Amino acid sequence: MVNIGTRISELKLRNPTILASGILGETSGSMKRVASCGAGAIVTKSIGMKPREGYPNPTAVEIECGILNSMGLPNPGIEEFKKEIDEIDEIDIPVIGSIFGKDEKEFAFLAKKMEEYGLDAIELNLSCPHARGYGLEIGSSPDIVREVVREVKKKVSIPVFPKLSANAGDIVDIGKAAEEGGADGVVAINSLRAMKIDIHLKKPILYNRVGGYSGKGIKPVAVRCVYELSRELDIPVIGVGGVETWEDAVEYILAGACAVQIGAAVYYRGLSVFAEICEGMKRWMEENGFESIEDFRGVALK
Ligand code: SIN
C-alpha cells in the first residue's frame, strides 16, 4: 500500500503538494477551497507589518513558459490578517504563514504574531526579487539570513522555513547560513529576477519594469538548487518552481525535496492539480515498488 504522506521537520503532511505563497492564500475562503481540493499544506500570501497596496498595473503577465509578476507585496498587514486566520478553523491541513520584513526585528515580530494566530509554521520571504528593502538585500547575504532566522527562532517554537533565492550568490552558502541560524528547513527557489519588453511600446511591460519569473521555465534552475541544497544541508528542502505534473513532483523528490510547492500551475490547471499530482505519483510509486516518499527521496543524489 503506497503512502504519500511526508514530514518537514515536525510538520506532518498527508501528501507532498503545498500551495505556494502568493496564489489564493490571502482570504479564508480561498484557503478553504485549496484545502478541500487535496493540497497537503498551504502557504499564505506574504504578510508584512502594515497594509500595502502594491504597485499599479500591469503587475503580472504571462510570458514564455511561465508568469512574470511584480505585485509589490500587496497585503492587508499583520493585524488585519488575523480576521482571515480566525476563519480557517475547519482547515485540517497545516497552514504556513509567509512573512516579509525589512530587518530581523520585523521578521521576529511577524513570526510571533503568526504563531499566536495559530498557524503551524513560518515561511520567511526574505528573497523577493524586486521589492526594494524587503528582498534580495536580505536574502543574498548569508550573514543577514543567519541573523534573521536566529531572531525568529528565538521568538517562536513552530518550524521556520526561509525561502531562498537563486538570484544572487551561491544558494548553498545562503542555505548553510539559514541552517546555522536554526532553520527547520529551506524552500527553494523564489522567482527569478526577470523582464519582458513590449516591442510595440518599446518599454518594459510591468509597471515596476523588473519582476519575478515563475513557472515551467525556471524548473531546471530550481531542481539544480534543490539538488545542491539537499547534498549539503541536514535540514529538509522544499522544492518550488514549475511544478505542473506528477512527473515534475517526482523529479524534485528524486533531487532531495521532501515536498513541493505549486503556484503558477494553479492558474494553468486549476485546483484539481493537487489531486492529479498525488494520483500520478502514487501510480508511479506502485510501478516502481516504492511504498513511501522516503523510499525514493534523494535517490538522484547517490
Ligand atoms: C510580489 O508581491 O511582488 C511578489 C512577492 C514575491 O515574489 O516574493
Helix (H, G, I), strand (E, B) or coil at 65: coil
Which residues have C-beta within 8 Å of that of residue 158, sequence separation ≥ 6? 115, 119, 120, 121, 122
Residue 279 has pLDDT above 90, yes or no: yes
Give the active site residues.
128
Share of the chain above pLDDT 70, in %: 100
pLDDT number for residue 135:
83
Q: Confirm or reject: Cβ of 75 under 6 Å from ligand 1.
A: no
Q: Cβ distance 143 to 172 under 8 Å?
A: no
**Per-residue model confidence as pLDDT tens digits over 70-94:** 999 999 999 999 999 999 988 999 9
pLDDT (mean) for 163-167? 95
Q: What is the per-residue pLDDT for 132? A: 82
Q: List the helix and strand counts (H, then E) for the chain.
A: 11, 16
pTM for the model stands at 0.97
- The type of residue at 94 is P
Q: What residue ranges define each of the domains in the chain, with the CATH number in brackets?
A: 7-301 (3.20.20.70)
Amino acid symbol at 277: I
Ligand 1 center to residue 282 CA distance, Å? 32
**Residue identifier of the C-alpha nearest atom 6 of ligand 1:** 128
Q: Which of 46, 187, 209, 218 to mutate to test the pocket of ligand 1 (most atoms within 8 A of CB)?
A: 46
The CB of 264 under 6 Å from ligand 1? The reply is no
pLDDT tens sequence across 184-223: 999 999 999 999 999 999 999 999 999 999 999 999 999 9
pLDDT in tens, 97-117: 999 999 999 999 999 999 999
User: What per-residue confidence (pLDDT) applies to 168?
Assistant: 80
Closest CA to 42 of 216, 259, 191: 259
Running DSSP on this structure, what letter comes out for residue 218?
A: G
Q: Which atom of ligand 1 is nearest to the CA of 214?
A: 7
- Per-residue pLDDT, 131: 83
Per residue in 14-49, pLDDT (tens digit) is 999 999 999 888 899 999 999 999 999 999 999 999
Ligand 1 centre to CA of 70 (Å) is 6
